[in-house]
Amino acid sequence: MFYVYVIESQEDRSLYIGYTADLKQRLKDHLDKKGGRTTRNKGSWRLIYYESYFDQKDALGREKFLKGGSARKYINKQLVNYLQNIQ
């Protein structure tokens, strides 16, 4: 299984979109500051959304889409209840 996920910084509420084959381990890495520079330099992270895929190419394509320009509209639509509750 392959996963595309969105985590939220508890420090400044910024979002990070990533891809992994092991979601539990990847989240642990982010929390242990073993992730990339973007996530390592911020406080704790919380998983707020994920999707699973059988095919790696599908997951990578989805990650690329979500990191692109129209992704914010999609994420806002998918997380409408969550985002309304934090404002």
CATH number, domain of 69, equals: 3.40.1440
Q: Which residue has the higher pLDDT, 10 or 2?
A: 2
Rounded to the nearest angstrom, the gap between the alpha carbon of residue 85 and the centroid of all alpha carbons in its chain is 19
What domain count does the chain have?
Answer: 1
| Local structure of 39: helix, strand or coil | helix
Report the predicted TM-score, pTM, of the whole model to 2 decimal places.
0.83
Using the CB atoms, write b or e for 12-27: b if 16+ within 10 Å.
eeebbbbbbeebeebb
pLDDT in tens, 26-59: 999 998 888 777 788 887 899 989 999 999 999 9
Amino acid (1-letter code) at residue 8: E
Contact 45, 9 (CB under 8 A): yes
Mean pLDDT of 2-30: 92
Q: Which two tokens stand for residue 30?
A: 């982010």
> Looking at residue 59, what is its pLDDT?
97
Q: Range of 30's domain?
A: 2-86
